[in-house]
């Protein structure tokens, strides 16, 4: 579909009615957002931004998932990269960025606190269990000035439960001997709110050598309120995960037995520990002036032993990777209600990272013997990364129908690396990275808004080695910039419905495919991403809730400067499916019985930038659910995942040895059944 044709059609349709009513935002919500109300001393995403989606607690709390990033599969335009290798389970992406790890373009936050690891991967999400999550908010595009690092295509914020008085529990059991227990407790009185969570999950896994055990413990303590002038809080969370890795399979191995694990992977596995600590302070300095500050500490430790290839030679595919990363940071905002139609907000952030990375390679053995001395130590590095950022944005509403949000952000980076052999180097000298942004919303009627946004984001290289750092012989590189634009329409096609259609495009300069874990860096050059998003949710009568979405997208390399022999010009960026679709139906059959159906699908994608290894990865799956309320406090549910037994697999390209390069696969689970018992006291 040609984007400019659809854009013209939208403009023609919406520019004819008379504009009236209050200018609203363009956020869409699926489910109920059970956020216990506390005043926030800063602007929220749906107040300021345009392409925003929110998933409510009732679509989250009783879902059976191995990892909480899977919950986003219900949301429009979200690509799930399901690697399914123990603790290295997968991630989410959107706006035609992939989840392979080479370009981590999605900023991840938990309760507004940055929660990406150094490479940009989203591993801190795994600390959360569904019963602890109050909402998930997705912001797409380039117009959000609040965040800089990793905020290339947008951001995802997981809001956990805050305040209230409750005792909620869930026990579930299902296929592959999967056991799950969660308990969430909230108490609030006399201005003091306490929230606690404990969760554990264990499973034998769909495949051989696929066992997993994880534990999570969290607490939140808040005192005061903005009405009284101050609210201060402390959050803490700890997580432990021990998992086997069944390994990737060749096409022949997949065909022979998709549930098997090859002997070469018999010693593969991962031990992962993560901890977070946050201090939150909100102040009411005057009736029209609010301040907010978050201080945070994130710790990530991971020891992964992995065998990537079936090649019976060499040591490249047999690796032990050890990460030890610490982040400390601050985010601070000041929000001023200058006039009734003008609000101004400014913010600063600082993050310091202290990262260590060890990568050992082991000689061939069947299975890989990680207790033997390594054949070589490829990496044993220590590096720092410092990021200063600042932004200002304003909400100006000159008329009831029009809202204009200009914004500007700047970021600067510094850091040093220390490599084996006494080699040191400074971080690339990126200078000040400027990011202008603009959003506009125009209310055509009480329930119809036309919106547009434009903005610039950036990519900087991560990892401890060149080209991220200026070690001897390394030339300077410019940061990659992404310039994006979007035109959309939010409307209500009929009573109790909300819909949105949008066209968008992002053009990148100097984009780099960069994976520190493998030491791989490929300069893609100029890229163009574009797409169309359409979504609708509706309440039909009192018993039916229906939602659906379809995203068409493409990502192409428009100029790479590599010369005729190596040129990737005109090729598609790897691992980007052309379409992603969702469908959901909830039916309240009786006062006590609710039935549900959810489907999602995505298309095939190229495995590598040359586009010569074929297309893989497409699927269409259907999940079914039923929930029965025994009484207001107790309920039981039944969930059937992949109800049609669709046999599909995540695919990537094993290129450790190009002369024997081939697709490798990680099969998805077949039909699986889970039974849950829920308690609300």
Confidence label for 5 from pLDDT (cuts 50, 70 and 90): very low
Identify the weakest region by mean pLDDT among 176-180, 512-516, 603-607: 512-516
Q: Which residues pair with 679 in a beta bridge?
A: 169, 634
Query: What is the torsion angle, in degrees rounded to the nearest 10, for the CA atoms of residue 70, residue 100, residue 156 and residue 396?
Result: -150
Asked whether the beta carbons of 419 and 465 are under 8 A apart, the reply is yes
pLDDT (0 to 100) of residue 16: 36
Tell me: cis bond preceding 467? Omega within 30 of 0 counts.
yes
What is the rounded average pLDDT of the residues 548-569? 80
pTM above 0.75, yes or no: yes
Mean pLDDT of the chain: 91
Q: Which residues pair with 382 in a beta bridge?
A: 356, 418
Who contacts 198 (Cβ-Cβ below 8 Å, separation ≥6)?
A: 182, 183, 216, 217, 218
| Eight-state DSSP code of residue 46 | H
Give Cα separations from 611 to 345, 375, 570, 588, 597 (angstroms): 45, 33, 10, 47, 36
Identify the weakest region by mean pLDDT among 376-390, 422-436, 511-525: 511-525
Question: What SS3 class is residue 42?
Answer: coil
pLDDT (0 to 100) of residue 47: 74
Q: In the predicted model, is pLDDT for residue 73 greater than 80?
A: yes
What is the rounded average pLDDT of the residues 207-232? 96
Identify the weakest region by mean pLDDT among 25-29, 333-337, 448-452: 25-29
With respect to CATH, is domain 3-680 assigned 2.40.170.20?
A: yes
Who contacts 436 (Cβ-Cβ below 8 Å, separation ≥6)?
A: 407, 408, 455, 456
- In 3D space, the residue among 156, 15, 50 whose CA is nearest the CA of residue 453 turns out to be 50
How many CA atoms does the CB half-sphere of 385 hold within 13 Å? 24
- In 3D space, the residue among 378, 382, 395 whose CA is nearest the CA of residue 356 turns out to be 382
Asked whether the beta carbons of 76 and 53 are under 8 A apart, the reply is yes
Who contacts 270 (Cβ-Cβ below 8 Å, separation ≥6)?
A: 85, 86, 87, 88, 241, 242, 243, 245, 302, 303, 304, 305, 306
pLDDT (0 to 100) of residue 551: 97
Round to whole Å and give the CA distance between 460 and 299: 22
pLDDT higher for 301 or 316?
301
**CB burial string 651-672: b at 16+ within 10 A, e below:** bbbbbeeeeebbbbbbbbbbeb
Q: In the predicted model, is pLDDT for residue 20 greater than 50?
A: no
Q: How far apart, in Å, do the first and last CA atoms of the chain sit? A: 51
């Amino acid at each position: 579909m040609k984007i400019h044709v659809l854009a013209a059609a939208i403009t023609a349709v919406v520019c004819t009615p008379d504009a009236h009513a209050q200018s609203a935002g363009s956020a869409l919500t699926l489910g109920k957002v059970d956020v216990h109300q506390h005043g926030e001393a800063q602007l929220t995403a749906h107040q300021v931004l345009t392409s925003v989606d929110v998933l409510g607690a009732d679509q989250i709390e009783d879902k059976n998932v191995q990892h909480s990033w899977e919950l986003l599969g219900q949301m429009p335009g979200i690509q799930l990269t399901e690697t399914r290798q123990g603790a290295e389970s997968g991630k989410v992406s959107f706006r035609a960025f992939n989840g392979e790890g080479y370009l981590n373009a999605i900023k991840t936050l938990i309760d507004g606190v940055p929660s990406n690891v150094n490479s940009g991967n989203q591993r801190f999400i795994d600390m959360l269990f569904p019963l602890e999550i109050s909402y998930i908010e997705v912001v797409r595009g380039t117009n959000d000035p609040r965040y800089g690092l990793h905020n290339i295509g947008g951001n995802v914020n997981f809001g956990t439960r805050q305040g209230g008085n409750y005792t909620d529990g869930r026990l579930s059991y299902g296929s592959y001997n999967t056991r799950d227990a969660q308990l969430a407790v909230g108490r609030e009185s006399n201005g003091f709110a306490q929230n606690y969570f404990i969760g554990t999950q264990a499973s034998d896994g769909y495949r051989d050598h696929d066992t997993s055990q994880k534990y999570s413990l969290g607490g939140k303590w808040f005192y005061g309120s903005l009405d009284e002038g101050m609210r201060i809080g402390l959050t803490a969370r700890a997580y432990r995960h021990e998992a086997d890795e069944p390994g990737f399979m060749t096409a022949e191995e997949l065909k022979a037995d998709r549930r098997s694990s090859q002997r070469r992977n018999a010693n593969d596995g991962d031990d992962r520990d993560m901890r977070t600590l946050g201090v939150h302070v909100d102040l009411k300095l005057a009736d029209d002036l609010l301040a907010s500050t978050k201080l945070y500490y994130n710790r990530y430790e991971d020891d992964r032993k992995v065998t990537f290839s079936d090649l019976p030679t060499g040591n490249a595919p047999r690796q032990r990777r050890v990460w030890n990363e610490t982040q400390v940071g601050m985010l601070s905002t000041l929000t001023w209600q200058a006039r009734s139609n003008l609000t101004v907000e400014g913010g600063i952030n600082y993050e310091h990272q202290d990262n260590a990375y060890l990568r050992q390679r082991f000689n061939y053995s069947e299975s890989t013997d990680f207790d033997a001395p390594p054949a070589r130590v490829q990496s044993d590095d220590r590096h720092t990364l410092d990021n200063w950022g600042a932004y200002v944005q304003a909400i100006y509403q000159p008329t009831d129908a029009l809202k204009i949000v200009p914004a500007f952000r700047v970021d600067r980076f510094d850091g040093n690396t220390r490599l084996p052999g006494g080699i040191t180097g400074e971080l690339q000298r990126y200078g000040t990275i400027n990011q202008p942004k603009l959003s506009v919303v125009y209310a055509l009627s009480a329930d119809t808004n036309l919106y547009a946004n434009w903005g610039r984001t950036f990519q900087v290289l991560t990892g401890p080695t060149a080209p991220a750092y200026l070690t001897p012989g390394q030339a300077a590189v410019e940061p990659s910039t992404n310039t994006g634009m979007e035109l959309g329409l939010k409307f209500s096609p009929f009573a109790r419905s909300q819909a949105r259609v949008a066209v968008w495009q992002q053009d990148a300069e100097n984009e780099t495919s960069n994976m520190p874990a493998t030491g791989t860096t490929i300069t893609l050059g100029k890229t163009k991403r574009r797409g169309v998003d359409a979504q609708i949710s509706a309440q039909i009568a009192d018993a039916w809730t229906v939602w659906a979405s379809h995203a068409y997208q493409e990502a192409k390399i428009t100029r790479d400067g590599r010369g005729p022999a190596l040129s990737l010009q005109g090729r598609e960026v790897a691992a980007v499916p052309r379409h992603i679709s969702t469908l959901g139906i909830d039916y309240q059959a009786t006062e006590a019985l609710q039935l549900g159906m959810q489907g999602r699908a995505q298309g095939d994608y190229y495995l590598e930038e040359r586009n010569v290894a074929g297309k893989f990865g497409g699927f269409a799956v259907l999940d079914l659910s039923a929930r029965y309320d025994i009484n207001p406090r107790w309920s039981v549910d039944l969930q059937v995942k992949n109800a049609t037994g669709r046999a599909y697999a995540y695919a990537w390209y094993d290129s450790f040895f190009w002369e024997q390069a081939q697709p490798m696969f990680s099969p998805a689970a077949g039909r699986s059944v889970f039974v849950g018992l829920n308690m609300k006291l």
